[in-house]
Amino acid sequence: MTVSLTTPRPLIAGNWKMFGLEASLDEARAVAAAVAQAPPAARVAICPPATLLHRMADALSGESVIVGGQDCHAAPQGAYTGDISAPMLADAGATLVILGHSERRGSYDETCEEVSAKVLAALAAGLEPVICLGETLAQREAGQAEPIVTGQARNSLPDDLSGQAFAVAYEPVWAIGTGLTPTIADIAAIHAAIRAVLVERFGDHGASVPILYGGSVKPENAAEILATPEVGGALVGGASLKAKDFLAIIAAA
Ligand SMILES: O=C[C@H](O)COP(=O)(O)O
């Protein structure tokens, strides 16, 4: 990965999704111990299920691995059974939050406008949003990957992000959990298109926002993907559940 003096450190974030019981904290502790022993070039984050957030934040307190949420509500509090707000995530020890993941866009019909409102809520709570974008297989096969993703970028990112800490993650829906990945050329093309939107929207700040790649990132393909132009880190699902695999991906950055 090419990192200039003005480029922020890459971010390698693990998304545990709805996996993990208390015993899984040992995997997070193992990641933190290894990161402490050999500080990596990348920032490292783990986003556990909400039930583990507080305990993981306590377990990793003082370590260089940061902890994040997987979603938040746009309101700071209210009668929203089952939801969790950005201030609650921050209160539990989170410093970042994944927003607009395709599993939420797909399973809960989350719109770009809702994602945009959540981004503002996250920032107001002091959290760094990681905003996910990505096309379905049908959209890619129809030659629509780039317009779909840039459209999501335009509509999911609120106007007033200049100077704010946030990241974007390109996650082709068909690559998530399937073992399939786009070609390196396709990843580079979509990341370049996202970068153009970020620069158009946020000027110099948009030029430095990390654009993560996500979708079947594994120890075997991490180095090549992370060396791709405009790839500023990875959002890792399945391979983040085991410390050994996650650490191999972190080392590739
Ligand atoms: O948020 C992570 C992504 O959905 C990627 O998941 P995966 O690495 O299991 O394909």
Domain boundaries, the chain: 11-252
Distance 235 CA to ligand 1 centre (A): 7
Residue 242 marked in a binding site: no
Q: Which structure tokens are listed for 104?
A: 């939420």
Strands 167-170 and 211-214: parallel
Dist CA 59 CA 52 (whole Å): 10
Tell whether ligand 1 has an atom less than 6 A from the beta carbon of residue 106. no
Gap between the Cα atoms of 23 and 75, Å rounded: 32
- N- to C-terminal Cα distance for the chain? 6
Q: How far apart are CA 35 and CA 20, in angstroms?
A: 21
Q: Read off the pLDDT band of 3 (50, 70, 90).
A: very low
For residue 175, the 8-state DSSP code is: G
Decide if 44 contacts 65 (C-beta within 8 A): yes
Kindly indicate the confidence band of residue 8, based on its pLDDT and cuts at 50, 70 and 90.
Answer: confident
- 15-28 average pLDDT score: 97
CATH fold of 11-252: TIM Barrel (3.20.20)
Our mutation pick for probing the ligand 1 site, out of 97, 103, 217, 249, counting the most ligand atoms within 8 A of Cβ, is 217
Interface ipTM above 0.95 = yes
Q: Which position among 101, 103, 128, 191 bears the catalytic label?
A: 101
For residues 6 and 162, the answer to whether their CB atoms sit within 8 Å is no
pTM given for the model: 0.96
